[in-house]
Amino acid sequence: MSNKGAKNLFIYGSLFFFVILVLLTIDTMDKIDKRAPEITADVDAGKMVWHKYDCIGCHTILGNGSYFAPDMTKITDNKPKGYLKKFLMDPRAVNPGAAMPKLGISSDEADKLITFLEWMSKVDTNGWPPKPILAVAAGSSGKELSAGQRVYQTLGCSNCHMVNGIGGTSGPDITHVGSKRDKEWLFGHFKNPEAYVPKSAMPAVSASDADIEQLTDYMLSLK
Ligand code: HEC
Ligand code: HEC
């Protein structure tokens, strides 16, 4: 190849790949915009509170942060807002064993944080982080689920409770709840937790009475 040929190859070759780079960058920017909902002033305010208390010193979000505490990217998908608010303002009032300290978060700050976390949960992360495998959260591996167990799974109780070592730790372990509570207490508590446990952070169960009854029977079988 002549000198001139080599020079042309260098210039046009570089130009060609530069144009491809620009096109791909534009394409990516376009896609990123669509992966996240609009950032409102409230979301922004929530992010400021997130920084103020250095939540990332213990938690991860989108994979960034510390691995001391659970990832917060999709937290509002499996924990209702009322619960989150109570937990944020006073973790140990919700869960006496909580390792998260009471940080002094005000009611207004908690609302803002939840708005931010809700926005975060809506960001399309291609299914990340993977959902924990809670499949047979009933100690009935291999066996057919009872009606009550099915209600338990459908309502996502295992996001917060553990039965036989499977489930979350936000609420008490209910592996033996059947020997602690009776039918009336369980049914009533499901319909209105705060009437039975002052300031309870458990969300009232929204299901038909028939389903709640089956859930109660399942609880009574946990001894
Ligand atoms: C000193 C470490 C620490 C800091 C700082 C901290 N957390 Fe936590 N957080 C934890 C731990 C540990 C847990 C797991 C539950 C527990 O043991 O308390 C947790 C749990 C949570 C939960 C989930 C509760 C549940 O039941 O699923 C939320 C929501 C949360 N933190 C939000 C925040 C936010 C928002 C901030 C900043 C304002 C924050 N945390 C700051 C340690 C921390
Ligand atoms: C967002 C978290 C959360 C969810 C979801 C949740 N709970 Fe709870 N649950 C709690 C908390 C916190 C408590 C402790 C306060 C109380 O007793 O009301 C609790 C208490 C209980 C108790 C009383 C335990 C005891 O030892 O006194 C039972 C039973 C129970 N939950 C069952 C369920 C079932 C069944 C579901 C699904 C319909 C469910 N919970 C959903 C957080 C949750």
Distances from the Cα of 106 to the Cαs of 87, 98, 109, in angstroms? 12, 19, 5
Res. 29: pLDDT tops 90: no
Distances from the Cα of 28 to the Cαs of 18, 61, 77, in angstroms? 15, 21, 26
pLDDT at position 135 is 47
**Residue with structure tokens 């002549």?**
2
For ligand 1, say whether the CB of 84 is within 6 Å of any of its atoms: yes
For ligand 1, say whether the CB of 80 is within 6 Å of any of its atoms: no
Q: Which of 58, 84, 92, 202 to mutate to test the pocket of ligand 1 (most atoms within 8 A of CB)?
A: 58
The token duo for 173 is 């372990």
The whole-number average pLDDT for the span 47-71 is: 94
The token duo for 15 is 């130009």
For ligand 2, say whether the CB of 215 is within 6 Å of any of its atoms: yes
Res. 179: pLDDT tops 70: yes
For ligand 1, say whether the CB of 53 is within 6 Å of any of its atoms: yes
Spatial separation of the C-alpha atoms in residues 149 and 218, rounded to whole Å: 6
**Per-residue pLDDT reduced to its tens digit, 123-169:** 998 888 876 654 444 445 557 889 999 999 999 999 999 999 988 89
For ligand 1, say whether the CB of 91 is within 6 Å of any of its atoms: yes
Nearest CA to ligand 1 atom 27: 170
